[in-house]
Structure 1
Amino acid sequence: MLDPVLGHHIVNSLGWRSLRPLQEAAIEPLLGGEDALLLAPTAGGKTEAAAFPLLTRMGRHGWKGTSVLYVCPLKALLNNLHPRLRAYTEWLGRTAELWHGDITTPRRRRILTQRPDVLLTTPESLESMLVSAHVDHRAFFSGLRTVVVDEVHAFAGDDRGWHLLAVLERLSRTVGRPLQRVGLSATIGNPQELLAWLQGSGRGRRPARVVAPHLDGHSDSRQPAAAPSPPPPPGDIELDYVGSVANAATVIAALHRGEKRLVFCETRRTVEELAERLRAKGVTTFLSHASLAVDERRRAEAAFAEERDCVIVSTSTLELGIDVGDLDRVIQLDAPSSVASFLQRLGRTGRRPGTTRNCLFLALDGEGLLSAAALLLQWSRGWVEPVVAPPEPRHLVAQQLLALCLQEQWVGENLWQEWWNGMGPFGPGAAPVVRHLVEQGYLDEDGGLLFVGPEAERRYGYRHFMNLTAVFTAPPEFTVCHGRTEIGRTDPDLLTEHVEGPRKLLLAGRNWLVTYIDWNRKRCFVEPADEGGRARWSGFATVRVRSFHLARAARDVLLGEDPPVRLTPRAAARLAEARDRHLHTVHPGGTLITRHTEGDIRWWTWAGHRANATLAASLSAVVVPHRRANDQWVPLREDVSPATWGAAVAQVPSGLCLPEVDERAVRGLKFAEALPARLAVATLAARTADVPHAGEVLAEPVRFVRLTGT
């Protein structure tokens, strides 16, 4: 069914004797123009599963101009994929080009005049093309037929997903035809729902299917029910307790010598500290995280791909499908935030014939050990998080209205909904946002037309409205330079806080002495130093929260259930200590309220951050005000008793209350200023709640326990 020229090159250029199951199963629906979600574990051949049928269809139907968009969440992933897709298109006499923020102006001009058949880009760059005065977007995209969204689960779980859907709806209206949508994803818990989300306004109007041969009995599923997650693949998984970053460095330096190791850390600061200690032990070490300069990251990734006996230390930047060569081992400090993330990381290993997937967990403290054990227990049950779009993205409705007016110059005050075909939050419910934008001067209104107003010009007009196409607010950072070489970026607090002696930074795994700070240009200049550097990043980064299911898995671990992986004696001993310590905080038959002699009252729900925040807001009569709940317990008033507790629970309305929202959190929501204050607060409140699981917990039996001592 594929183009014969493609078939020739698959055999003779790639040396493949056959296609993988996903690649075979994807041919028929993609050739037929169906929307599809292609699911496979990491390194499952998803790119080729989409590219080969679409290139066949391109030649068979004589598509002209830019007919396929390939959208990725990361520029680095686009850079990595481009050589492969360029080779595949060249086999058929076609072209593939990159378009993102790092592409030079001359190269962009060449792309605009010589439209490639396949364009690889990000949603932000795509929207920049739509609003740019230098791009005739109607002419450029006139031949567009298909959009491929790689790592679609990475979009759908946050606001970039809503942004992507809204931009695709505008693009579809611009070209005057529905666009075939193809999503590529690793295993997730709700594939049918994710496919329906990806279809946007085309849901129920266009044929669509999930293609996932590795889900037994669920390939080519056209049913609305979600496919179950597969059992976890065989692998070599070990959980150890090391107690500190210094000890982790000692273990990593001593084990697996001669192998290529990828170490994942949950913060940039941990990446820097671990890399510095590994280098001090003579280990060839590279780094990757978001605050390193692009050239610094590329050098590290290129060197790592060519080395053998080395370590690369990374945040989630290397979690997605960027090729760093054949890995021997993945090491995880503490635990990632989700099972899905762990599956991505585990999938970086075991790609060579005769090797197995493996991961060594090194817990830095007791909480990290419990989190890792809980995650591995859930993984062993075959559970993967469903990908759910954040509710009520009103701030993005405001952003899209402004971007649309910038794109079209003016829009009819009663016609703007047509650009999104009434899709979800961009339908009639967005009318209050439109009124607010007009009232506050973000939009002007004249003769029944809407166009960009002076307030939008003032807030977002800098550099041709570049800030309007970015969905998230970036924290302020200073660029760090050694001579003319940019090393990365650092938190300004490290440059302003009082220090005794010279000011030193830790960046790119090396120590630096600050020699000069240019406050106006937000740059600091450094020279190499021997030791004593510090790393820190703060700002508006989202706090990691433990979900209901992972919190309950932690409770199961404390109740005695071990994950079916190898536990080192250190890990087993620490877990035993944790079980003793939590003896009176967990119960298999419900929740516990503990009263200490000093008056500290806690309701141990093990329900996760969002469910506990919802419960705290709904039981305000018995909850300590202005004291936050965590993922394990809710703080209660000292005078709570079984009687007052029962009365408070009885008064909870059928609809639980949404959590209170901190004013600082509202300020961190991009475009919140373009919303009425009450809608901005309501948006964040809906996103910090977990009403279903809070209701489930509230219905469970509660036991009161009095503890003695501390």
Structure 2
Amino acid sequence: MMIYLMEKMRMSRNLDGKVENFIKNDLRWLSFTDVQKKAIPKILEGNNVLIESGTASGKTEAAMIPILDLMLKDKMPGIRCIYFAPLKALINDITNRLMDIFKPFGFEVARWHGEVSFTDKKHAISKASILVTTPESMEGMLSSKSVPNERFSNLRFVVADEVHNFAASPRGSQMVCLFERLQLYTEYKLQRIAMSATVGSINEILDWFVGGSELPSVIVSNSKHRTKSIHVVHEDEIDITKLVKHLQNKGNRKIIIFTDSRKNVEKYSRILNDNGVHALTHHSSVSKELREHVESRFKAKRKTMVIIATSTLEMGIDIGDIDLVLFLDVPYTNASFVQKIGRAGRKSSNTKAWVIARDYNSQMRLLGVSQMLEDDVVEGIFPLDYYPQLLAHQLISFSYERGRLKKEELAQLLKARPFKRIEKADFKAVIDFLVEKGYLFKNPGGELLPGDKTNEVIEIGAKKMGFVVLFPGSIEYQVVHRGTEIGTLQPIFVQVLKQERESKGEAIFNLANHGWKVTRIDDSKLKIIVEEAHSTRVPDWMSLGARIEYDFAQAIRKAIISRKIPETVICSRTLKEQLQHIIDQESETISKAPVRCCEYDPEKKGTTLYTYFGDLGNLFASILLNIQGVKSVRRDWRMLFIKGKKDPEYYLELLKELAGKSREELSHLITTHIMDNPKTMKYLYNQLGDSLKDYADDHIIAKSQAEFIIDERVCQNIVDS
């Protein structure tokens, strides 16, 4: 048996004998997975590594086992590895998993986020060798006087889980800046390791992630793909309860049902529970304690169970083996679809999913998903490389952290990818603004020191919380039953409850799979005290709508051009007929040229350009038309509608005139346009999704928005039309 194990684990010759024996005898592994065989030697060699592999393929162990090995060979005090994850629930889960690997060798693993107690944080900073945290928590630590910087003096590894999630948001830009700042504390060249199940534009993500690192960088991809069995039906063909019962009768004991809103989670959980299907709920407005209870129940129970969730269960929280994933509608990105179906079929290597296609737009998205599955691609992510307001934010925090900023320290920070295209004039404008506003003080030697405003922001608890977290917060009321938090509601729905109590004498609603009657609303403490009641009333939550990206829109266009339904999904006969009808009908919106010009429509009093550029791509194109004096432009993810009697080619020529200009010229034109249109500036900032606009002047903010919206792929398509 031991000979068999040695042969099956021939990769282990690169590992320390203690680690090798632990894997065989304690973890009881018979072999490494494909991605582990590829990644472990690359990490042991000292490379930066981006690991791209499906859910449950062993990515975490592929990254952390060689780190364990290197830590055993180089025992030093302090924090040796910082592991970044995007969700608190994922941090809790990862911490427990890493304890099983590292604790037998005497290494402490600790977590640090907003819900960790002061005592646990104190233990973490004094004892931990591996710290699992979020970017905003790390930001808070570096600017905290209670965290001694010498704890990072032997830091050797930084790891990012779900790196695609970070790369697509301001939090990721914050994280890679922290890498550069942490480099100043350690004698080691930080080895950077990233993991993701779904990465588009993978080389772009790697370049962004490694930033100023001098270590060689490699990509490790898993060549093995699971078998996918994806069935799609139209909503008119099925009853949701009957479908779930049918799937359960076919042996699918553990099912996750994904939907795109908290409202639908509550709505469909009530429908299923009222019709004999026990369904649990999981979304961001359910309290942490109840979500964790649902996760542990689902993982531990062997009986048939269903969870209805939003994207809160999309990422790698361990809830055990899932037999099947059901979508109540078609997702807006293939990356999200692939990530979610990856939750199923871990043991069998056969991913099973069912999808309900609802309306016309849903069926259009189905064409995009099935086309991208056929092409084996997901949407590309292109992280920001011009982010001056983040530079301002980092200078505030960095100056407080270091006491004074020397030129070499500034040079280290500027190696971060978000600052790649910031020019000297931009840098000076950022500094001048921060000095003027009292955030920085510049001494005669040219060093930057923290100003009074910085001390105020960093040293006052509530202000610091708002500072380290880059995404805008929202005010929500806490729903409490007998001292236990059930979840949260937004003020807009609380106002409805107040009106109902006044007019009807009571207000009842559904949350976390239960009905509740309001007994008291405390506006000063933002609390709603409730008692149990029967209810089918579902709360309303407001959120920004989902976006269709350029790559996804182009995939839909490609499917229509092919005039056939991609064979990556199994469609019902009814749905096939409807999809073929859509393809036939929408083929009129597509020409050989990238942009299809339609004749003037006298009924609509305008003309349509079909572009398939996606939501942001068409926002960019509409701004180009605005700059050219065309004011009345409506848009969605695939078309521009221009009110007026001009020939459509006239508008296309206006677009070509600007699309052929250099990026620098476009940036200047769009910046000027944004400065002249405050509503556009506000709208674009909501699209960017951070809370940093107060740290730079309006011109710098407008320029950053211009750089955010410019899409050279759109320009090329316009020029080629």
For the criterion TM > 0.5, the same-fold answer is: yes
- Give the match's secondary structure for 1:475: coil
What is the aligned partner in structure 2 of residue 552 from structure 1?
Answer: 554
1:9-35 deviation digits (Å, cap 9, x = unpaired):
212222212212221222322222221
**Corresponding residue to 1:316 among 295, 311, 315:** 311
**Corresponding residue to 1:209 among 208, 218, 221:** 218
- Give the match's secondary structure for 1:652: helix
Equivalent positions of 1:276-675 (< 5 A) are: 276-307=270-301, 308-353=303-348, 356-412=350-406, 414=407, 417-426=410-419, 428=424, 429-447=426-444, 448-456=446-454, 461-463=460-462, 465-497=464-496, 498-499=499-500, 501=504, 502-538=506-542, 541-559=543-561, 560-564=563-567, 565-579=569-583, 581-582=585-586, 584-587=588-591, 590=594, 591-598=596-603, 599-620=605-626, 625=631, 627-641=633-647, 644-645=650-651, 648-649=654-655, 651-652=657-658, 654-655=660-661, 658=670, 661-666=680-685, 669-675=690-696
Deviation at 1:165, TM superposition (A): 0.7
- Give the match's secondary structure for 2:132: strand
- Give the match's secondary structure for 2:609: strand
What is the aligned partner in structure 1 of residue 10 from structure 2?
Answer: none
Aligned-pair identity (%): 27
What is the aligned partner in structure 2 of residue 180 from structure 1?
Answer: 191
- Give the match's secondary structure for 2:480: strand
Distance 2:707 2:276 in 1: 49
- The structure-2 alpha-carbon separation of the partners of 1:169 and 1:652, relative to structure 1 and needing over 3 Å to count, comes to closer
- The structure-2 alpha-carbon separation of the partners of 1:574 and 1:285, relative to structure 1 and needing over 3 Å to count, comes to same
1:129-162 deviation digits (Å, cap 9, x = unpaired):
11112111x2211221111212222211221111
Distance 2:533 2:185 in 1: 55
- The structure-2 alpha-carbon separation of the partners of 1:124 and 1:653, relative to structure 1 and needing over 3 Å to count, comes to closer
Query: Does residue 32 in structure 1 map to residue 45 in structure 2?
Result: yes
What is the aligned partner in structure 2 of residue 150 from structure 1?
Answer: 161
Could you tell me whether the CA contact under 8 Å between 1:473 and 1:670 is conserved in 2?
Answer: yes
- Give the match's secondary structure for 1:570: helix
Q: In the alignment, residue 522 of structure 1 is paired with which amino acid? A: L
- The structure-2 alpha-carbon separation of the partners of 1:511 and 1:627, relative to structure 1 and needing over 3 Å to count, comes to farther
Distance 1:462 1:91 in 2: 37
Q: In the alignment, residue 29 of structure 2 is paired with which amino acid? A: W
- Give the match's secondary structure for 2:487: strand
1:605-641 deviation digits (Å, cap 9, x = unpaired):
2221122122222233888625441111101122121
Query: Does residue 236 in structure 1 map to residue 217 in structure 2?
Result: no
Distance 1:512 1:698 in 2: 58
- Give the match's secondary structure for 1:619: helix
What is the aligned partner in structure 2 of residue 166 from structure 1?
Answer: 177
Aligned length: 675
Could you tell me whether the CA contact under 8 Å between 2:180 and 2:415 is conserved in 1?
Answer: no
Deviation at 1:291, TM superposition (A): 1.9
Greater helix percent: which structure? 2
Could you tell me whether the CA contact under 8 Å between 2:91 and 2:133 is conserved in 1?
Answer: yes
Distance 2:652 2:120 in 1: 69
Q: In the alignment, residue 50 of structure 1 is paired with which amino acid? A: A
What is the aligned partner in structure 2 of residue 120 from structure 1?
Answer: 132
- The structure-2 alpha-carbon separation of the partners of 1:513 and 1:391, relative to structure 1 and needing over 3 Å to count, comes to farther
Distance 2:599 2:518 in 1: 51
Could you tell me whether the CA contact under 8 Å between 1:20 and 1:45 is conserved in 2?
Answer: yes
Q: In the alignment, residue 255 of structure 1 is paired with which amino acid? A: L
Q: In the alignment, residue 554 of structure 1 is paired with which amino acid? A: I
Distance 2:658 2:389 in 1: 30
What is the aligned partner in structure 1 of residue 706 from structure 2?
Answer: 685
Q: In the alignment, residue 348 of structure 1 is paired with which amino acid? A: R
- The structure-2 alpha-carbon separation of the partners of 1:580 and 1:145, relative to structure 1 and needing over 3 Å to count, comes to closer
Q: In the alignment, residue 127 of structure 1 is paired with which amino acid? A: E
What is the aligned partner in structure 1 of residue 8 from structure 2?
Answer: none
Q: In the alignment, residue 702 of structure 2 is paired with which amino acid? A: V
Distance 2:659 2:587 in 1: 33
Could you tell me whether the CA contact under 8 Å between 2:154 and 2:188 is conserved in 1?
Answer: no
Deviation at 1:362, TM superposition (A): 0.9
- The structure-2 alpha-carbon separation of the partners of 1:249 and 1:555, relative to structure 1 and needing over 3 Å to count, comes to farther
What is the aligned partner in structure 2 of residue 2 from structure 1?
Answer: 15
Deviation at 1:252, TM superposition (A): 2.8
- Give the match's secondary structure for 1:480: strand
Deviation at 1:465, TM superposition (A): 1.3
Distance 1:679 1:494 in 2: 37
Distance 2:707 2:271 in 1: 42
- The structure-2 alpha-carbon separation of the partners of 1:63 and 1:336, relative to structure 1 and needing over 3 Å to count, comes to farther
- Give the match's secondary structure for 1:154: helix
Could you tell me whether the CA contact under 8 Å between 1:329 and 1:358 is conserved in 2?
Answer: yes
Distance 2:289 2:656 in 1: 60
What is the aligned partner in structure 1 of residue 677 from structure 2?
Answer: none
- Give the match's secondary structure for 1:620: helix
Higher alpha-carbon deviation: 158-167 or 333-342: 333-342
Deviation at 1:98, TM superposition (A): 1.8
Q: In the alignment, residue 80 of structure 1 is paired with which amino acid? A: D
**Corresponding residue to 2:121 among 108, 112, 131:** 108
Which structure 2 residue ranges, 5 or more long, are not aligned? 1-13, 675-679
- Give the match's secondary structure for 1:174: coil
Distance 1:39 1:642 in 2: 44
Deviation at 1:173, TM superposition (A): 0.5
Deviation at 1:643, TM superposition (A): 6.3
- The structure-2 alpha-carbon separation of the partners of 1:146 and 1:572, relative to structure 1 and needing over 3 Å to count, comes to same
Distance 1:611 1:663 in 2: 18
- The structure-2 alpha-carbon separation of the partners of 1:23 and 1:558, relative to structure 1 and needing over 3 Å to count, comes to closer
Distance 1:639 1:100 in 2: 58
Deviation at 1:295, TM superposition (A): 0.3
Which structure 1 residue ranges, 5 or more long, are not aligned? 216-231, 701-710
- The structure-2 alpha-carbon separation of the partners of 1:530 and 1:662, relative to structure 1 and needing over 3 Å to count, comes to farther
Q: In the alignment, residue 685 of structure 1 is paired with which amino acid? A: A
Distance 1:462 1:84 in 2: 32
Distance 1:295 1:647 in 2: 58
Query: Does residue 92 in structure 1 map to residue 105 in structure 2?
Result: yes
Q: In the alignment, residue 536 of structure 1 is paired with which amino acid? A: D
